[in-house]
């Protein structure tokens, strides 16, 4: 007696896969030509560009990156003409950023701004014949700021005004914490003063150099640490040099 066929639940839908990531290009080296171990054969090293999609990437504040993706079925065949929703955090929760359409290869792309650290979701909501799918991309944006010194040279006992501004907004309600750092001879950066910015992100510190015996050049910077409620990763300013002339003249 023949077995009865299994019942089907309709409608059947295609299982889909969505891959997305930040487009990054790197140079790889590989050996070509000749045969390994064969006498007299010559192999040479060539360099070629390789493009990869990274699910997480750093983006400078104010910069942009290209996010690319592809929608396929379970066998890797493209699904063209399908809508992809780009979703990201907004003032009232997650919001729709854009609606994209896959091309003949099932591919799509989106240009994202380095406005803040955030997670973007790329979603295919599904159709009567295709199951839904999604992919997440993490953008990490370091905080950005400036650091300046009112004088590049000063005598021991003299004062210098350090100023700067945290440019990566929005700021915490109480202002943003900033660490002023100096580079040690060992190469390590150490913090010698902490402060908070004003509502506009600006800060200033009047500092006196003391107990400097011989001429010494200091390299200084502002470090902007990560902080709860602040949508940026830790960042730093460019470093500046200040030379302090000590009473004993040049260092031995």
pLDDT tens column, 173-212: 999 999 999 999 999 999 999 999 999 999 999 999 988 8
Report CA 205 to chain centroid distance, whole Å: 30
Query: What local confidence, expressed as pLDDT, does residue 248 receive?
Result: 79
Nearest CA to 246 out of 205, 217, 206, 221 is that of: 217
In terms of Cα–Cα distance, which of 105, 107, 89 is closest to 97?
Answer: 89
For residue 80, the model assigns a pLDDT of: 97
d(CA 120, CA 109): 13
Query: CA-based diameter of the chain, in Å?
Result: 108
CA distance 38 to 240: 57
- Enter the pTM of the model: 0.83
Q: Which fold has domain 148-245?
A: Immunoglobulin-like (2.60.40)
Compute the average pLDDT of residues 18-43: 76
pLDDT in tens, 68-120: 999 999 999 999 999 999 999 988 889 999 999 999 999 999 999 999 999 99
pLDDT higher than 90, residue 34: no
Nearest by Cα to 27 from 45, 4, 15, 13: 45
Minimum mean pLDDT among 24-38, 52-66, 102-116: which range?
24-38
Whether 148-245 and 16-30+44-140 are alike in CATH topology: the answer is yes
- Average pLDDT (146-170) is 96
Q: What's the average model confidence in pLDDT over 6-34?
A: 80
What does the pLDDT read at residue 249? 76
Q: Give the whole-angstrom CA distance, residue 115 versus residue 222.
A: 21
CATH code for the part of the protein at 16-30+44-140: 2.60.40.1930
Residue ranges of the domains in the chain?
16-30+44-140, 148-245
Q: Residue 87: its pLDDT value, please?
A: 97
């Amino acid at each position: 007696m023949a077995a009865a066929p299994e019942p089907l639940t309709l409608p059947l839908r295609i299982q889909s896969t969505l891959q997305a990531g930040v487009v990054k290009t790197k140079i790889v080296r590989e050996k070509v030509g000749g045969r390994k171990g064969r006498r007299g054969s010559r192999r040479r090293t060539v360099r070629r560009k390789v493009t990869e999609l990274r699910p997480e990437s750093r983006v400078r504040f104010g910069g942009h990156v290209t996010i690319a993706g592809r929608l396929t079925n379970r066998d890797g065949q493209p699904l063209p003409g399908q809508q992809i929703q780009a979703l990201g955090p907004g003032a009232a929760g997650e919001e729709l950023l854009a609606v994209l359409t896959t091309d003949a290869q099932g591919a799509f792309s989106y240009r994202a701004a380095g406005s803040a650290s955030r997670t973007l979701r790329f979603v295919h909501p599904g159709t009567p014949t295709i199951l839904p799918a999604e992919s997440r991309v993490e953008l990490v944006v370091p905080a950005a700021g400036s650091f300046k010194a009112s004088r590049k040279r000063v005598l021991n006992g003299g004062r210098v005004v350090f100023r700067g501004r945290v440019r990566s907004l929005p700021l915490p309600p109480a202002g943003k914490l900033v660490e002023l750092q100096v580079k040690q001879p060992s190469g390590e950066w150490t913090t010698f003063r902490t402060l908070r910015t004003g509502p506009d992100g600006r800060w200033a510190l009047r500092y006196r150099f003391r107990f400097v015996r011989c001429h010494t050049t200091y390299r200084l910077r502002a470090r902007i640490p990560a902080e709860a409620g602040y949508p940026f990763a830790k960042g730093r300013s460019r470093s500046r040099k200040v030379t302090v002339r000590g009473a004993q003249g040049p260092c031995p």
